[in-house]
Amino acid sequence: MNSLKNCPAPAKLNLFLHVNGRRADGYHLLQTVFQLIDHGDTLHFDLRDDDRIRRVTDLPGVPEESDLIIRAARLLQAEVLRRQGALPRGVDIAIDKVLPMGGGLGGGSSDAATTLMALNYLWQAGLSKEELMALGLPLGADIPFFIFGETAFAEGVGEAMRPVRAPDCWYVVIEPGVAVPTAAIFCSEHLTRDTPVVIITDFSSHLEKQNGFKGFGKNDLQQVATKLFPPVAEAIEWLGAYGDARMTGSGACVFCAVATEEEADAVLAKVPARWKSWKAKALDRHPIIAKL
């Protein structure tokens, strides 16, 4: 096979995100539930006759050399060389970018994860899921989750995961129009880092019941992000009239769960024109799995 077209790189929502501590290296210990949703970027891969890895779509603000897609592809290419003694063929990678950067939707990580999974298949590299997850982690904390590929409860710095059942619902998402730099939120002196560790049965039973779509726990990064970026606070306040609105990841996007697509449409119809907004359905599994 010489190409793989229309490979999905879906967004994630952090249904809650607790900061439980900080490691000696500065990284934070988290507990979170990652939910995949059916809204995201799309990538296309065409193998080349030489060994060059190229991005063939311009991505304003992201030079090709620092793009997580290119860095992920190079990492896997080097790993194949190490294992098989020969460089695999190069590849042209095109991207239809939909997810906002600095949105807390994991866009860059999802693009990188899709790249690792698609090239592992195209190059017949033979890495296991666990090996791909470990390869991706140094590039971005959310990459292992996207390769894990199903709704997950994650601990540690986000890399220790187990599957969890979450409601089959819809989400309304608002993009407040600002890009939040993840590192600045984690560095803040105002960030609380002492939320008690929760026991898994607490929230899995809660998630299954989803009492009136009131979410479990909270997002500990929200307090810092809303202070630094007032549009995030405004979007949470506005969406809060329709449900338990909260931020995903380190922001800026804000979401709330609703039971049906019709309910999502009714909320979307009222969102002020200054914000971009959309609906998405919860996904149990990563949609690329069906293609590989």
Ligand X SMILES: Nc1ncnc2c1ncn2[C@@H]1O[C@H](COP(=O)(O)OP(=O)(O)OP(=O)(O)O)[C@@H](O)[C@H]1O
Ligand Y SMILES: C[C@](O)(CO)[C@H](O)COP(=O)(O)OP(=O)(O)OC[C@H]1O[C@@H](n2ccc(N)nc2=O)[C@H](O)[C@@H]1O
142 is catalytic: yes
Structure tokens at 183: 């590192």
Find out whether 140 is annotated in a ligand binding site: no
For residue 17, give the 3-state DSSP assignment.
strand
How many other CB atoms are found less than 10 A from the CB of residue 146? 29
Q: Which position among 166, 249, 279, 282 is part of the footprint of ligand X (CB under 6 A)?
A: 249
Q: Angle of helix 129-136 relative to helix 107-122, nearest 10 degrees?
A: 140
280 belongs to the binding site for ligand X (CB under 6 A): no
109 belongs to the binding site for ligand Y (CB under 6 A): yes
62 binds, among ligand X, ligand Y, none (CB under 5 to 8 A by kind): ligand X
Helix extents (H) in the chain: 68-84, 107-122, 129-136, 143-148, 182-187, 200-209, 222-228, 230-239, 261-268
69 belongs to the binding site for ligand Y (CB under 6 A): no
13 belongs to the binding site for ligand X (CB under 6 A): no
Residue closer to ligand Y (CB basis): 4 or 13: 13
Q: How far is the CB of 226 from ligand Y (least distance, A)?
A: 15
Largest CA distance in the chain: 59
12 is catalytic: yes
Q: What are phi and psi of 233, to 5 degrees?
A: -60, -40
Find out whether 212 is annotated in a ligand binding site: no
Distance CA 88, CA 197 (A): 44
Q: Which residues are catalytic?
A: 12, 142
Positions in the binding site for ligand Y (CB under 6 A): 14, 17, 26-28, 30, 32, 104, 109, 140-142, 157-158, 182-183, 186, 249-250
Residue ranges of the annotated binding site for ATP are 100-110
The residue ranges that bind ligand X (CB under 6 A) are 62, 66-69, 99, 101-109, 111, 142, 182, 249-250
